[in-house]
Amino acid sequence: MQERSQTPIGSLTDAWVESGKHFSNSVEHFYSSMMAANRAMLTANGEADESDRQPPVTPGVTYSKSDWTFEHADDGDGIVSVGDRIRFSKQLTEREIGEFADASGDTNRLHLDDDFAEQTRFGRRIVHGTLVSGLISAALARLPGLTIYLSQDLQFLGPVDVDETVTAICEVVEDLGDGRYRLTTVVEDEDGETVIDGEAIVLIDDAPDE
């Protein structure tokens, strides 16, 4: 993937990039942690979450909630093509961070313990990087058809604060044939700064009939 110039976000960003080098690009790891978190967030608090879940809009395959937003910029033919872009935004709440820690097993005190986090380079608690990157999966799922991850490369460029609203932006940049597509995958914070940058390859099948 061609390297792109990036606007420095300061020494904190440099430190974040260095600390993010240990992240595994394993699709299996990405899937297992995010699917576990999704199950926890959908089932936590039982009736409260179920009552807020919105039914999928045909021919969509995803559910939504009233405080989530997404936009799909395409040519309107319902077929994925180069240039299509999806934006998905949601707030990453205190409750979801705790649920993700339990579901994934990532109980790093940087994300959970205020007193501990204040002594780190960040000076406060931050959201799990994998939880933030999960918004990319949420955006991709809203492409027409049934999206299946084949690979995902990520670079973490900055932290996300607890209760911050972030936006995943995915754009189709290449049709690889046989239903496979290459996309750029970016997550921005509330100030429009890029906190995650990457690239994904997905396979898109026809959605099952209702």
- 160: nearest Cα among 72, 89, 103, 76: 89
Residue 78 — pLDDT band, cuts 50, 70, 90?
confident
Name, of 32-41, 107-116, 201-210, the range with top average pLDDT: 107-116
Cis before residue 59, ω within 30 degrees of 0?
yes
Q: What mean pLDDT is reported for the chain?
A: 79
Burial of 11 (0-12, 13-18, 19+ CB in 10 A): exposed
Q: Is residue 37 part of a domain?
A: yes
What is the CATH classification number for the domain harbouring 27? Answer: 3.10.129.10
Number of domains in the chain: 1
Residue 51 confidence (pLDDT): 52
Check residue 174 and give its pLDDT: 97
Does the pLDDT of residue 159 top 90, yes or no?
Answer: yes
Within a domain: residue 2? no
How far, in Å, are 102, 149, 170, 204 from residue 181 at the CA level?
33, 10, 11, 8
200-210 average pLDDT score: 88
Say if CB 168 and CB 125 are below 8 A apart: no
* CA separation for the pair 153, 200 (Å, rounded): 6
Residue 52's pLDDT is 59
Q: At what angle do helices 27-43 and 129-140 cross, to 10 degrees?
A: 90
* Percent of the chain whose pLDDT exceeds 70: 68
Is 5 within the bounds of a domain?
A: no
On whether residue 56 sits in a domain, the answer given is: no
Is position 59 within any domain? no
Residue 184: pLDDT over 50: yes
Tell me the two tokens of residue 98: 């705790």
pLDDT score at 73? 80
The better pLDDT of the pair 36, 188 is held by 188
Distance (Å, rounded) from C-alpha 146 to C-alpha 62? 9
Poorest-pLDDT segment among 1-5, 37-41, 83-87: 1-5
Instruction: Look at residue 130 in the predicted model and tell me its pLDDT.
Output: 95
1 belongs to a structural domain: no
Q: Is the pLDDT of residue 53 over 90?
A: no
Residue 6 lies in a domain: no
- CA neighbor of 71 nearest in space, from 89, 95, 58: 89
Domain that holds residue 144: 11-51+72-205
CB-based contact 165:89 (threshold 8 Å): yes
DSSP letter at 209? P
Rounded to 10°, the helix 94-104/27-43 angle is: 130
Q: Does 27 have pLDDT greater than 80? A: no
C-alpha–C-alpha distance, residues 176 and 67, integer Å: 34
CA distance 182 to 187: 17
Q: Considering the domain boundaries, does residue 16 fall inside one?
A: yes
**Is 117:124 a contact under the CB 8 Å cutoff?**
yes
Query: Which one has a higher pLDDT value, 139 or 1?
Result: 139
Q: Is the confidence at residue 160, as pLDDT, over 80?
A: yes
> Residue 63's pLDDT is what?
65
DSSP 35: H
- This prediction has a pTM of 0.72
